[in-house]
Structure 1
Amino acid sequence: MKAITFDQFGPAEVLTLTEVAEPVLRPQDLLVRTRAAGVNRADLTHRRGGYGRPDFGDSTLMGLEIAGDVIAVGAEVSGYKVGDRVMGIVGGGAYAEVARIDYRMAMPIPDSLNYVQAAAITEVFVTANEALVNLGKLQAGETVLIHAGAGGVGGAAVQLAHAIGATVITTAQASAHQLVRRMGADYVIDYVHEDFATVVDSLTEKRGVDLILDFIGAPYFERNVNALNFGGRLVQIGIMGGIENAKIPLDRLLYRHLQIFGTVMKSRSQEVKHAMSQRFRERWLSEFGKEGLAPIIDSVYPLAEAAAAHQRMEEGLNVGKIVLTA
């Protein structure tokens, strides 16, 4: 089969299309003819050597989410058969014509969705649900601040928070404001020209928000804590802005009874990942369709052009998900 490989860590140009052996089917696996694969920031980190090893433990190939057709079923699998359309998060190996997935991480593709749409769902929406609902405990009537609302996880979180019935404030560059409003944002802050903490103060009459989802890290940390209401929760999903010099106002943390959570899917145990996927599937999968939730697709590249897809993400040009087709 054809797959994207690289011989050394480095820039996008290290990615090449080569011929490799198909993955071995294990008892709890589905083998899937990959039709589409989502591109995630974790793939960029993987390619640069940020994880300190060339794989995620399950495959030497990169890529974390797939959509395609089942071509083989392991001996201990239940609920799936050859020919089923499935999507889901894999432990590496998505950038290939054939991938394997633990059947407990797989989900049926809703009839209303094509493969490209399906490949853009699981990584971002499972992560968003974990942050908003399982950790953040967002309730109808609460107010949430979602940073990077035009990004993959951010855009998914905006949609889920709107569906829950929360008031949604998000940060995004000016060119994406119309899009995030269509996804369900009630207020959009231009993070380039506005200070989000000042705007939140104004919008909430200085009460603060009940929940914040943040991908930036140190540059936002102190302002995030100061922007929380009594009993507020901060869920840290990423550290795109770095970790150095993060300041925490301990008096605010103490006297406002705040809670701070950190979450990253890659380092979770397989059992926890199963539970995360199942929580998302049970609550939200049926909501995808013409009138419901929908993945936001930025662009689609053939598998052979994975380097160009990575370059687009690295340059911050994408609004929504980048997808590869195999």
Structure 2
Amino acid sequence: MSTKMRAVLVKGGAGTADDLYVGEYDKPVPKKGEVLVKIKAAGVNRMDVYQRIRGAVPLPHINKDILGVEFAGTVEGIGEGVSDHKIGDEVFSLVSGAAYAEYITVRSSLVMPKPPHLSFVEAASIPEVWFTAYQAVVLIGGITKGKSILVHGGASGVGVAANQIARFLGAKYVFTTAGSDEKVKFLLSIKEGPTHAINYKTQDFAEEIDRVTNGEGVDIVIDLVGKDYLTRNIKVLKMEGRLVLIAMQSGSVASEFDFAPVAMKRLRIEGSTLRTRSPEYQDDLARRFVKELLPDFTAEKGQEPLLKTYIYKTYPFEKAGDAHKDIEANKNSGKLVLVVE
């Protein structure tokens, strides 16, 4: 049996999308409590782009050579002490890296059974964005029935998931922003999608929310933009509202920011990442997702599921660079997925 596998690597350890290539790498061996999975599909995320540009992530549990944080495939090896999975099981999972490869080892406790009706591509598109959205909207944002929310980056993988979770859990208003009329139309077509979609290039989201809510605003803002939206995010939040920062695409330093509204409205601002969370936290998140949301990705024959993953485009394993170029150009409405064959 070969001790090598193919993986998507970066020339020189960091670089442009054109520096991604398929090369040979050591095939991992499952340790105690781990399973070995033959990967069929791997999700592509903006964090992969950041790692590719910046190089190795300075965390010991993250593979410095291979990108990718979510995948779907079949179990091919079982480590010592594993009893909850067997050879041949179809699974999907979130990982801290190394998913752009033919094989991967992962903690058995983090591996989820793939629902039979979901393809490997669909399953691979779920963990990173749905876990992130669930964490932001529910665990930190505290969404409950009747509350209102604003989700920025609505057509991104996380945005599509966050909009559905908020609507599914009974939000009164679900506002979201996107960068084109085409994306706005796509978002409004989602069954459990936003109640209002705003083209941020032609409309001021703060003015639109003020108009629709008669000045009431929203309880929660999920933001991945950062400094360019900070003042308006604070403006649209109600008393004791929550701003959840999950990324800062426009930058992280906001000069001359007025903190008075934060104090006067008793706002809570909280940042969150998922990749740096403890194994125990991630395992618990996986269990909660499987129990509370995964069943609603299924439906009776002939019916639409309440929750759905939306695939923008799939790419052959060797075309990972094209996927990165598309995500950098903000072309996607939904998820981009690599097909590993």
- Give me the TM-score of the superposition, normalised by structure 1: 0.96
**Residue 174 of structure 2 aligns with which residue?**
168
- Deviation digits for residues 131-178 of structure 1 (CA, Å, limit 9, x no counterpart): 000111101111100011111000000111110011211111211112
Q: Which runs of 4+ in 1 moved over 4 A?
A: 50-56
1:74 is displaced (CA, Å) by 1.4
**Residue 4 of structure 1 aligns with which residue?**
8
Count residues in correspondence: 326
Matching residue within 187, 212, 225 for 2:196: 187
Is it true that 1:216 corresponds to 2:231 in the alignment? Answer: no
**Residue 287 of structure 2 aligns with which residue?**
278
Structure 2 Cα separation of the partners of residues 63 and 56 of structure 1: 13
Contact 2:17 2:322 in 1 (8 A): yes
After superposing the two structures, state which structure 1 stretch, 210-219 or 259-268, moved more: 259-268
- Deviation digits for residues 248-280 of structure 1 (CA, Å, limit 9, x no counterpart): 432211121211110011222222222222222
Structure 2 Cα separation of the partners of residues 230 and 50 of structure 1: 41
Which residues of 2 match residues 142-291 of structure 1 at below 5 A? 142-166=147-171, 167-172=173-178, 173-183=180-190, 184-245=193-254, 248-289=257-298, 290-291=304-305
Q: Secondary structure at the match of 2:105?
A: strand
Q: Secondary structure at the match of 2:312?
A: strand
- Deviation digits for residues 98-134 of structure 1 (CA, Å, limit 9, x no counterpart): 1111112111111210000000001000000000001
Contact 1:217 1:246 in 2 (8 A): no
1:73 is displaced (CA, Å) by 1.3
**Residue 301 of structure 2 aligns with which residue?**
none
**Residue 310 of structure 1 aligns with which residue?**
324
- Deviation digits for residues 160-199 of structure 1 (CA, Å, limit 9, x no counterpart): 1110011211111211112111221111111001111111
1:24 is displaced (CA, Å) by 1.9
Q: Secondary structure at the match of 1:81?
A: coil
Contact 1:147 1:214 in 2 (8 A): yes
Runs of 5+ consecutive residues of structure 2 not aligned to the other structure = 299-303
Which residues of 2 match residues 103-118 of structure 1 at below 5 A? 103-118=108-123
Q: Secondary structure at the match of 1:20?
A: strand
Q: Secondary structure at the match of 1:67?
A: strand
- Deviation digits for residues 20-62 of structure 1 (CA, Å, limit 9, x no counterpart): 2211211121111100000011110111116655986346311
Structure 2 Cα separation of the partners of residues 204 and 176 of structure 1: 23
Contact 1:55 1:61 in 2 (8 A): no
Contact 1:46 1:54 in 2 (8 A): no
Structure 2 Cα separation of the partners of residues 56 and 15 of structure 1: 22
- 1:185 to 1:246, Cα distance in 2 relative to 1, 3 A: farther
Contact 2:156 2:335 in 1 (8 A): yes
- Give me the TM-score of the superposition, normalised by structure 2: 0.92
Contact 1:90 1:100 in 2 (8 A): no
Structure 2 Cα separation of the partners of residues 246 and 287 of structure 1: 43
Contact 2:92 2:124 in 1 (8 A): yes
1:223 is displaced (CA, Å) by 0.9
Matching residue within 117, 122, 125 for 2:127: 122
Which residues of 2 match residues 25-174 of structure 1 at below 5 A? 25-49=30-54, 57-58=62-63, 60-166=65-171, 167-172=173-178, 173-174=180-181
Letter paired with 1:199: E
Is it true that 1:320 corresponds to 2:334 in the alignment? Answer: yes
Q: Secondary structure at the match of 1:286?
A: helix
Structure 1 Cα separation of the partners of residues 58 and 321 of structure 2: 20
Percent identical among aligned pairs is: 36
1:77 is displaced (CA, Å) by 2.1
Q: Secondary structure at the match of 1:27?
A: coil
Letter paired with 1:307: G
Structure 2 Cα separation of the partners of residues 265 and 96 of structure 1: 21
Contact 2:57 2:64 in 1 (8 A): no
Contact 1:64 1:90 in 2 (8 A): yes
- 1:141 to 1:106, Cα distance in 2 relative to 1, 3 A: same
Contact 1:222 1:246 in 2 (8 A): no
Contact 1:226 1:249 in 2 (8 A): no
